[in-house]
Every structure is written in C-alpha cells, then in structure tokens.
Structure 1
Amino acid sequence: MEFSHDLPMHPLPQETPYIVRRFWGIVHRKLLRLSRLYCRWHGIPFDGQIMQLPFGLILKWSDGTRSEEVLAMEAARRAGMPVPRVICYGEQPDSPHAPVSILMTRLPGRELGRVYEDLGVVERDAILNEMNAYLSSMRQWKSPWGRERICSSSGTSIRSVRVPFTKMGPFETEDQMNDYLLFPAGHDAYDTEEDYPSLKKEIEKLFSDKHRIVYTHGDLKHHNILIHEGHVSGFIDWESAGWYPEYWEFTTALRFQREDFWWYDFVVRLGGHRYTVYRDAERALIALTGGWCVGW
C-alpha cells in the first residue's frame, strides 16, 4: 500500500482471542529453537530478543513487547508506512517481562545510524522528507479515545523509556500525567532545598503550556529507521506508540543528545525545533525527581 498524507487512522483490528494467542505462544517457543539453528547455519549472531528466521521472518520476543505494539503496527501499516507485517502474536504467561511474542516480516535495509555518514546530501534530504511525512501524517490522526486522553493505541497504559518502570497511565488529561511525573518531587529527591524553586520554575515552562494530544511513535531513534537504496525502508519498534502531548516525540528523542551530533540536527529539522525550549525543563524534571523520569 502506498503512503498517503491524507489517510486517517484506520480502525484498530480486534485483539486475537486469548486461546489463539496461547497457541501461537507455544509455536513461537519452538521457533526460538529454529532461530538458533538458522543463525548457526548461516553464521549470524543469535539475538534472543529479535530472532532471525527463514523465509524473511523475524520473531520479536523482548522485554516489554505487548499486544498494543501489534495494534500500533497494524495502524501504521494500513496508513502505508513501511512497517513489518504481523503474521501472528502469541501470549507468554510464563514470561512476565516479555508477555507477548510477535512473528513478523523482515524489512530490507540498514539502520540509519550505521549508514548516515555515507549518504549524500540528496539522500539525507530525501530521508528527512520521508520521515517528516510519516510523522506529520500520524500527528493529524483523530484519537478514538477523546481529544485529551493520554494512552496507548488501544486506550491502555503507555510504555516509554522515559518514564519510571517504563509504564504509566492511561490519563484522562495532560494535568493528570504531569502530576504523575512530578510525584517523586515530594520525596526530597533533589540535591538541596535551594535547588527546588529554580527547578520547579523551569518545569512550569513545560507544564503550564497546553499541548495537543497527538499520535506518537514514542521511540524515535536512528536505529529504528531502516534505509535501503537511499530511502526509508522501515520504521520499526512501535511498542511505545500512542497518544501523547505533542512535544513528547521530539523531547524524548533529544533529551540526552549533544547538539553537535548529526541526530540532534536531524530531529530538530523533523519538527523538534518547536520544542527545544523545553530541554531545560526536561533536565529539571529529571533533577527534581532524582532521575525517576529517566526510565529504567
């Protein structure tokens, strides 16, 4: 399916019945063994979280993989984005930290971070424009959960490397989310009493503004963008996708980046320039909460 700027968010597919997911979970455990043999035969390093398989398939069974990721992938793929096709997903009740496994197609290409320095200006601009089109399009999608609710694609809690224990919500309003993020500040996590007023004032720049709630990939990193023949061939790892405040996509991607690193400039040009004013607020939030909002 060709990508179109004007495609709305398609209705999410219904979740596969539990008994079917359990069946596929058992099958996936067998595929884990097959992946070991396949990698050994082809001289490929075995990865126990992203497992290579024959016939152009991958089994993802990693920490935090959830059914919400499947629904997000389906929504993005139906909109024409270069996202793996989900074959099936399985329930893994004996693996609480990796409760879901996903069998999907393998996409061509290499990670953007591995090829960027070898790309020409024309190719870099083409990739930037393609990524801008994807992000701009999905930020226009209308949420089926209401204009203010902060949640996953399916209305449940959201997963993000940026939050404690990587999980929070859902929240009915942005104010609820802000209160949650600030909660540890009441536990004397900051260094000195004198730090508190200045840090709190910095955070208020972020929390006092009203933001649109938009659809967000949530883990915008250069290793989640695949490049083939000078174009974006894959936009992967949708486990954090959902409805977030409009700044979240960009401030999460920029929060620990040096300004002299190419990825910083790339994200700024993608749309992050509108939110760089919040970088100090992000750092203040981390300082005020003792790193609680850094993620685990």
Structure 2
Amino acid sequence: MLFVARNTSVPVPKVYCSFKHKDRVYVLMQRIAGQDLSQGWTQRSEESKARILAQLKTMTAELRSITPPDGIGVANVDGGPIFDQRLPDKSFWGPFATIQDFHRELRRGLELRDDEEAFSGLRELIEFHNGSWQRPVFTHGDLSSLNIMAVDDKVTGIVDWESAGWMPPYWEYTSAWHINPRNAFWRDAVDGFLTPLPHELKMEKIRRQYFGEF
C-alpha cells in the first residue's frame, strides 16, 4: 500500500504502523469510507455501474503503467516471493526470473515432446506459457467486488493488497474473473474496467483444470 500511495493516485488505506506479535504480522491502517461493491451491485443502475467502472479502469491503467525495476521477474513489490492462497499446493511462490519460469512452476515442470500424446488443451497451454512475453506489470491480484470500496458512485479505496506484485500482463484480468465463484455477477463487470482477454482466460481455465486452483 505504501508503494501504491507513493507511485500512483489510486486510493488505498493509509498505513499507520505494522508489527509482529506471536509470529503474526499486523498492519494498523486507515478505515476506508463506504461499502464494498458486492453490496448492492446488481441493484445499481447501468449509469451508476458505468461511473464506477470508468474510475476502476483509470486506476488499474495507472497501476499497470508503473515501470518495473530493472531485472525484475515475477515477484512481490520488493522482489521477493509472491503470495496467493488461490494457487495450488502452497501460498508463497518464487520469486521467478522470468514469466516462463513462473508458468513452468504453475504446471509443475511439465513439458511435452513433439510426438507425445496429451490431454485436450495441454499442448496449447504449454505453447502459450513458453511464448515470448512483455515485462511483468504491477498487479493487485485480487480485484474482487469485496475489495473495492465506494460511497454512492465514487470509488473511495481499493483494499487487500497481499497478493500484489509484478505479474504476467494477463494475470489481473484472469484473477479478477475467477476471484469469487459466488459473485458470478462480477465477471461481467470485469470486462468494463480491464481489457477482455478471451484467449488468456481460456488458457487459465485449462491450467486450473489440470493443475488445480486452490
């Protein structure tokens, strides 16, 4: 949050202090005014939704425009391991020197020979993973309706930054789309503030099918 506050105009909670107690880390921060967007989103008018999504589009574009440090791969904001409880087997991953290295870890090192038979979609997934990539972009990683606060039609804050870091360019979109199966309405909203990436979404669905998502 400190990094975002220093480098963008995106509204985040002000951090007052942090401390460790009995092997747990605590952060004392500002309480953001408003309610999260999961409350009453489906009852909002289309005009109200459009105003909120326009603000989120500007905010996410600003986050993605931050220049990554030289030599950074897939990592948290400080270059250390990323944290994501939705990834299979473990919560901390990396850091990784390249996006391809991160992808290889996600599929548990699987590679295929040219003459090797594979389950449907696997070869396409590996080709996607091993392709050429732009540099990682700064990503919130958990843009659920539960983590976006608003008063009326004004976004007052984005919270829950524990999964933020330097991630593949598609990660924000596919993570937001999959984030909360119980809030299926949010999937339509995501296309209103992030560029739809249907091919990348298809690849993530294949990865989750074969290599787990939780």
Taking structure 2 as the reference length, the TM-score comes to 0.86
Q: Which protein has greater RCO, CA pairs closer than 8 Å, 6+ apart?
A: 2
What is the CA deviation profile of residues 94-136 of structure 1, one whole-angstrom value per residue up to 9, with x for unaligned ones? Answer: 33xxx31000110100010112123222221111011011100
Q: Which residue type is aligned with residue 201 of structure 2?
A: R
Give the structure with higher Rg (CA): 1
Cα deviations by residue, 1:193-223 (Å, 9 ceiling, x for unpaired)? 97x3423123135314433310000111000
CA contact (8 A) 2:82 2:163 kept: yes
| Structure-2 residue corresponding to 1:143 | 68
Cα distance in 1, alignment partners of residues 103 and 79 from structure 2: 18
Residue 107 of structure 2: SS of its match in structure 1? helix
**2:195 & 2:177 partners in 1: Cα distance?**
8
Residues 179 and 156 (structure 1 numbering): CA distance in 2 closer, same or farther, change over 3 Å?
Answer: same
Alignment partner of 2:18 out of 89, 103, 113: 89
Q: How does 1:53-202 map to 2 (within 5 A)?
A: 73-78=1-6, 79-92=8-21, 94-95=22-23, 99-146=24-71, 149-164=73-88, 165-183=90-108, 196-202=118-124
For residue 257 of structure 1, report the CA deviation from its aligned partner.
Answer: 6.8
CA drift of 1:145 comes to 4.3
Q: Following the alignment from structure 2 to structure 1, what is the Cα–Cα distance between the partners of residues 52 and 144?
A: 14
- Say whether the 8 Å CA contact 1:217–1:249 is kept in structure 2: yes
- Structure with greater helix percent: 1
Query: Could you tell me how far 1:173 is from its partner in structure 2?
Result: 0.6
2:162 corresponds, among 233, 239, 256, to 239
Instruction: Specify the code of the residue in structure 1 equivalent to 2:103.
Output: N
Superposition map of 1:244-263 within 5 A: 244-255=167-178, 261-263=184-186
Answer yes or no: is the 8 Å Cα contact 1:226–1:233 preserved in 2: yes
Deviation digits for residues 224-275 of structure 1 (CA, Å, limit 9, x no counterpart) = 00110211011000011110000001111213777x94311111222241x2
Q: Which runs of 5+ in 1 are unaligned?
A: 1-72, 187-192
Is 1:214 the counterpart of 2:137? The answer is: yes
Native 8 Å contact 2:144 2:179 kept in 1: no
CA RMSD of aligned residues (A): 2.3
Q: Which runs of 5+ in 2 are unaligned?
A: none
Verify the 8 A CA contact 1:199 1:288 in the aligned structure 2. Answer: no
TM-score scaled by length of structure 1: 0.64
Question: CA shift at 1:184, angstroms?
Answer: 6.6
Aligned residue pair count = 206
Matches of 1:249 and 1:271 in 2, distance apart? Answer: 8
Residues 1:209 and 1:267: Cα distance change in structure 2 (over 3 Å): farther
Q: CA deviation at 1:144?
A: 1.8
Give percent identity, aligned residues only: 29
Change (3 A) 1:272 1:254: farther
Q: Which 4+ runs in 1 deviate beyond 4 A?
A: none
